């Protein structure tokens, strides 16, 4: 299995202000805004000339996607494993060793196939294609 960092994610109280900073000051390219009204969640994926992307997120509810109450700062790191079958296999291997699986595997509203697990310190890790 060839695992690589796909993206990191951070919470923000002001999504448009943060997007503007990364685009105008750091040269990021923003994808289309994603909104999930059911979860009160909005995000942008930002890409750079090379390397992993950055997801900036905001929520108007206390929980979002199994995460605890969001506050500005770290949300999760996303690891790409290459295929849906690898997402399933790694998720099940981690589950079998007692790693908490907090979501998935599933297809998200914005089209990703992923699961979410917690590392031993409780940090969220997305496992995606």
Exposure class string for 73-91: b at 16+ Cβ within 10 A, else e: eebbbbbbbeeeebbbebb
pLDDT, tens digit (0-9, with 9 covering 90-100), for 65-89: 444 556 778 889 999 999 999 999 9
Give the pLDDT band of residue 63 (cuts 50, 70, 90): very low
In the prediction, which pLDDT does 69 show?
A: 53
The per-residue pLDDT for range 7-16, each reduced to its tens digit, is 999 988 889 9
pTM of the full predicted structure? 0.77
Domain ranges of the chain: 4-128
Mean pLDDT across 37-61: 90
80 forms beta bridges with 4, 128
pLDDT digit string, tens, across residues 25-34 = 889 999 999 9
pLDDT tens, position by position, 85-109: 999 999 999 999 999 999 999 999 8
User: In degrees, to the nearest 5, what angle opens at C-alpha 11 toward C-alphas 74 and 117?
Assistant: 55
Q: Are 6 and 13 contacting, i.e. CB atoms less than 8 angstroms apart?
A: no
Question: Cβ contacts of residue 8 below 8 Å, gap of 6+?
Answer: 52, 54, 55, 74, 76, 77, 78
Bridge partners of 55, per DSSP, are 9, 45
Reported CATH class of domain 4-128: alpha beta
pLDDT at site 48: 93
């Amino acid at each position: 299995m060839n695992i690589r960092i796909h993206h990191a994610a951070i919470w923000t109280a002001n999504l448009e202000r943060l997007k503007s900073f990364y685009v105008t000051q750091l040269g990021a390219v923003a994808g289309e805004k994603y909104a999930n009204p059911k979860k009160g969640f909005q995000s942008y994926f930002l890409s750079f000339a090379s390397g992993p992307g950055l997801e900036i997120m905001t929520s108007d509810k206390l929980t979002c996607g199994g995460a605890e109450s969001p506050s500005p700062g770290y949300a999760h790191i996303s690891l790409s494993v290459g295929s849906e079958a690898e997402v399933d296999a790694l998720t099940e291997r981690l589950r079998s060793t007692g790693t908490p699986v907090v979501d998935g595997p599933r297809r998200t509203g914005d089209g990703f196939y992923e699961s979410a697990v917690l590392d031993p310190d409780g940090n969220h890790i997305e496992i995606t294609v």
